[in-house]
């Protein structure tokens, strides 16, 4: 029996309709939690109209229920549930997951291994309908916008590196320390049903913490099952890019084309260093090429800035009407 006096783990799940998926997620959660772990499950109903509230009224321990007076959206509902949490570790779980045996241990291992450097820990998510990988971390696409990675390492890499640092992670299944959540301030409620997760990861990176994916943790996910999940994608992404534009451009410079630009710039300056407009840029390029710094030279940044500006111009036109 779990002890609720001082639970190690606080599961927080916002709900909005989709009762059958919620029931399946809860069943899989109870079936896969290690028996000796102290746990509480906080379910936050965001004004469901499909019988969810009636079902919630019949739950006992280890469940705690929070009922919103109006629909607040994913970020605000999660924040409200996390504010009630008493555990040392938060597990933020969507209600459209199906949790597999062994999903928790690899995530806890990564969190504990990183110690004070731990930011947000995610995992591999398989599309429940197809069984294909839907999420193995978040990277930046050719437009410098966040997109799911769908490649996972082979068996040897998994054996040597059970977790790996990534740019960001989806909020569908996350682990982090409760004190880290409080330090970061939870989800930014300026986003509505989208991009809260990437923004949280960016703030963790800004604080010097590492966001990692635990490759040995696998769950099934009914992707974007909640009603209205995609309605504000463009607005949310524009807000995210405006907030983190410089960081996105720098991270996007880790691709091959940017490395080639930095390489060309560096070697062009070597024969006549006195002719280089700014010797500091040569040093920046050298450190970037040696992977001693994540700061790319201006020669690599300019194309990424141009790509981001094109996308911002598209959004300004879209929302000017």
Total domains present in the chain: 2
Is residue 3 scored above 50 in pLDDT? no
* Greatest Cα-to-Cα distance within the chain, rounded to the nearest angstrom: 77
DSSP string, 284-295: HHHHHHTTS-S-
Q: Cis ω on the peptide bond leading into residue 5 (within 30° of 0)?
A: no
Lowest mean pLDDT among 132-136, 242-246, 266-270: 266-270
Structure tokens at 117: 């450097």
* Amino acid 47: pLDDT: 96
CB atoms inside a 10 Å sphere around CB 91: 25
Residue 298: band (very low, low, confident or very high) from pLDDT cuts 50, 70, 90: confident
* Amino acid 230: pLDDT: 72
Q: Are residues 291 and 152 in the same domain?
A: no
* Amino acid 271: pLDDT: 58
* Amino acid 227: pLDDT: 65
User: 285 vs 97, which has greater pLDDT?
Assistant: 97
Structure tokens at 20: 């059958």
- Among 217, 243, 269, the domain-final residue is 243
Does residue 29 fall inside a structural domain? yes
Q: Are residues 271 and 124 in the same domain?
A: no
CA-based nearest residue to 162, from 198, 224, 228, 114 = 114
Lowest mean pLDDT among 128-132, 163-167, 222-226, 270-274: 270-274
With a pLDDT cut of 70, the percent of the chain lying above it is: 85
| SS3 state of residue 146 | strand
pLDDT tens-digit map of 231-243? 789 999 999 999 9
Does residue 3 fall inside a structural domain? no
For residue 258, give the DSSP letter: H
Q: Are residues 161 and 276 in the same domain?
A: no
Q: Are residues 203 and 267 in the same domain?
A: no
Helix axes 279-289, 256-269, angle to 10 degrees: 130
CB atoms inside a 10 Å sphere around CB 116: 8
Q: Are residues 79 and 105 in the same domain?
A: yes
Does residue 1 fall inside a structural domain? no
Q: Are residues 63 and 162 in the same domain?
A: yes
Mean pLDDT on 260-289? 63
Parallel/antiparallel/unpaired status of strands 118-127 and 63-67: unpaired
> How far apart (Å, rounded) are the C-alpha atoms in residues 294 and 254?
8
* Amino acid 261: pLDDT: 60
Q: Are residues 131 and 206 in the same domain?
A: yes
Mean pLDDT on 240-247? 96
* Amino acid 274: pLDDT: 57
Q: Quote the domain boundaries for residue 29.
A: 9-243
For the entire predicted model, the pTM comes to 0.88
**CATH code at 194?**
3.90.550.10
Chain-centroid distance, C-alpha 152 = 17
pLDDT tens-digit map of 147-170? 999 999 888 888 888 999 999 999
Q: Are residues 190 and 257 in the same domain?
A: no
Residues forming a β-bridge with 176: 90
């Amino acid at each position: 029996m779990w002890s609720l006096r001082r639970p190690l783990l606080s599961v927080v799940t916002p709900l909005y309709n989709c009762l059958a998926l919620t029931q399946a997620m809860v069943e899989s959660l109870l079936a896969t939690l290690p028996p000796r772990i102290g746990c509480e499950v906080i379910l936050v109903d965001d004004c469901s109209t499909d019988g969810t509230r009636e079902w919630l009224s019949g739950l006992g321990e280890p469940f705690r229920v929070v009922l919103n007076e109006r629909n607040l959206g994913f970020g605000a509902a999660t924040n409200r549930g996390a504010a009630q949490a008493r555990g040392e570790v938060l597990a933020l779980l969507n209600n459209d997951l199906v949790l597999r045996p062994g999903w928790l241990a690899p995530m806890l291992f990564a969190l504990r291994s990183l110690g004070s450097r731990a930011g947000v820990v995610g995992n591999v998510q398989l599309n429940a309908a197809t069984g294909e990988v839907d999420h193995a971390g978040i990277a930046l696409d050719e437009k410098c916008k966040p997109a799911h990675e769908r490649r996972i390492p082979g068996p040897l890499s998994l054996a040597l590196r059970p977790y790996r640092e990534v740019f960001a992670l989806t909020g569908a299944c996350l682990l982090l320390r409760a004190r880290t959540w409080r330090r970061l301030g939870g989800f930014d409620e300026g986003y509505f049903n989208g991009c809260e997760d990437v923004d949280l990861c960016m703030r963790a990176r800004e604080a010097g913490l590492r966001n990692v994916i635990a490759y040995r943790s696998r769950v099934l996910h009914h992707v974007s099952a909640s009603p209205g999940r995609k309605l504000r994608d463009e607005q949310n992404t524009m807000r995210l890019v405006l907030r983190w534009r410089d960081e996105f451009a720098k991270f996007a410079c880790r691709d091959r084309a940017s490395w080639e630009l930095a390489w060309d710039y560096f070697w062009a300056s070597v024969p006549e260093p006195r002719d280089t407009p700014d010797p500091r840029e040569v040093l920046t390029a050298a450190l970037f090429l040696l992977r001693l710094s994540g700061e790319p030279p201006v020669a690599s940044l300019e194309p990424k800035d141009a790509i981001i500006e094109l996308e911002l111009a598209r959004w300004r036109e879209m929302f000017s009407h």
